[in-house]
Amino acid sequence: MRKQKSFPFLKINRSPQPSFVIVEELEHTCQTEAERALYQKLRIMMYYPTPHYRINRFVVNIALIPYRIALIEQKKGLNEKKIIKSFNRKGWSVIFYQPHQILQEEHKYVNRIVALTEEQTPRSL
């Protein structure tokens, strides 16, 4: 809610709803083995991940659009705090991962994603 000097004096800002996403098999667009493994595991658990989804000016490795969860590969020179702050303003949760950890402990990340999805309901389209 924001105060204004003119009528109506109070303005309620609504967060934009996610765009309509057609569910399709996008495994072939995964570029790394870690992305592919995470994509397959999420599909087995009946989630519909979208690889290489653009949010703001940033391309996310894998996104769960209805839940607004972004999975981003950790890289050198990546300002994680700035990304988290920017995404949180848009209503997105961010999970950073390292590719070798996904291949060894994918259940750890999937459990974290499931916990986040249980906390929030998917946004209606």
Candidate ranges 4-13, 95-104, 112-121; pick with highest mean pLDDT: 95-104
In a domain, 16, yes or no: no
Residues, the chain, total? Answer: 125
Average pLDDT, the chain: 82
Q: What is the pLDDT of residues 12-68, one digit of tens each?
A: 666 555 556 566 777 778 888 989 999 999 999 988 899 999 987 889 999 998 899
Q: What is the pLDDT of residue 72?
A: 93
pLDDT score recorded for residue 125: 45
Contacts of 38 (CB under 8 A, 6+ apart): 49, 62, 71, 97, 102, 106, 109, 110
User: What's the CATH number where 107 sits?
Assistant: 3.40.960.10
Q: Is residue 41 in a domain?
A: yes
Is residue 103 domain-resident? yes
Contact 95, 69 (CB under 8 A): yes
* Any domain includes 109: yes
Given a cut of 90, whether residue 120 has pLDDT beyond it is no
Secondary structure class of 12 (helix, strand, coil): coil
| Token representation of residue 124 | 């209606």
Would 2 be classed as within a structural domain? no
